[in-house]
Structure 1
């Protein structure tokens, strides 16, 4: 049995800046046995930190996303139901095919004017004050408004929903996570039933209720709840962190910010570098060895947990020259910020569209944007990579 690296021993430094730890691990090899930090300190997993090995693992069918096959179940699956990120083919193929019928490229592209309008309204409110928390005033309300309108979710109590959502993706303890998942499950069940009773409407969730494949297949009520859950959570939490991490990277690299301001034609490339440099998802969700296998020569037993380090892989010195340097002229593609293989992020086009509109508009309307102080604490756990606040002035 390989030695276990206890990531919890690195303390708060690992949460704030995990890159030095990942670099140390990569120097010793691309795969390591680790104990997870925080409230998941009971869990031991294999952590993949090399780029090529991570890319291969993300597409390896021997690594299952459905833990039920090996007796593993998780809180959200028990209370919400199975969803895309916890399904394997053929179930995953079926679910993704059904949602792809409704969540089309045309639907995403049609959101552009509304995203621009929401962005402008948020800045109209924020900019006259001269200072604000970027997360609270901009990075969070933009994507949550977009995804709620896309799905047809009535305006929520934003503070309550934010607390539930963040606790699900970056749990601080088991009891609060349980309460958040229960509350979300109850809300989504009522929302879907309301939409069924209300009849046809032009929103994604209503389309998913009506969507039928050629063979007559449709999403069951439980599958609908799971789909709404993953679209609602993943559809905004990742974009919150993309916007916040991206702005922070620009403001802590003034030469890169100046280059972007001088030539907005660099924006698309800058967004790809933001995704590589400090992507919104630190590690992919759990995978399980459906059979004994080797990853980079390291034996993994059937049933063991594998974590693919997206952030770690995107800083691999073997893949990127000077990977710890933020360079908006670099072409980092294909990076792994949105994953790879059949579980590649369904919402990647929407996240890129929101980032393109939000960042350009923010930089144009706040030419003297600057940090007001250090960022707030980073989110706990190893799933999401983001900060709770970012004080700004202009």
Structure 2
């Protein structure tokens, strides 16, 4: 029904491929701040006769915050949340808070979010997947190790979670940049005797940045809003609305400036011979499988690495391609084995092993991600190994 009714209602069929549309249903594009999220929200509102589904996305934040780098590019999750879903007997689902780049921890379980890359087969599109299931192994992500987060990250996540809850109500009452300017003027006057330079030094930012915020030339990003809220001991909504609440100058050592830009790579300053030796050792021991891993190991860019050792880089690329082929073959073999076992089980019980019944039985026993062509290949192989005669008299009753 999704491919035949919902997706055509949202997007024109010639705009985007069906498989990619299906994958976007589970991507951050559906709940983000882009025009695609707006289209999905409007379409689902129309089909379900509702008017509030856009409140389940990040669209309410679009009028309140700068949208640059608001949504994370990585797939992140809290293992403890998935574990709680399994314990409660409900289907695992992704939390909206995880899609915000400034959130580094789970505010409920106080553990750091775990990054799970959206890996894809370079020869095709991303495989269809379900929340809480590893896309490469099919295992539950609730079993992943969780690391206790720092109190600062937990506090920031809780403040952002409160902003998400309140953004629905404050959107129309917080005109762009006016509330922030009013709050900053009040905070500078009440906490720092009207000296904006002292306020900038307290935050650990430049005076020109605070000057731009106060005069409406720029707006603070979400990480900066979290930092201001922690420095003044207030809510982010108070900053956006310009509330004259009771403020307190929190000591600078109790909050930290977020790293908005990545640090410059320092590996290029090392001697070329040392870099080449380190790269050679990493390749020989098999600890790097991609150019990205090799560049991260040496703390250099991929472009610099290709100029440094083009021959070694070619070997890394070839080895990575071989590893991906082996992993893809292993996934297909695992799918074929699981399909054959379920196929044979249904056949042994006198039930015709249609693809729908086999897939339903497989999903009940294990979570294996697959592409439809791989499923067709597994079905043909199962029919070859354990053939079934499909007679008219035995279609509904069993196997002849």
> Shorter-chain TM-score: which interval?
under 0.3
Return the index of the structure with the highest Cα Rg.
2
TM-score (norm 2): 0.20
TM-score (norm 1): 0.20
Structure with greater strand share of residues: 1
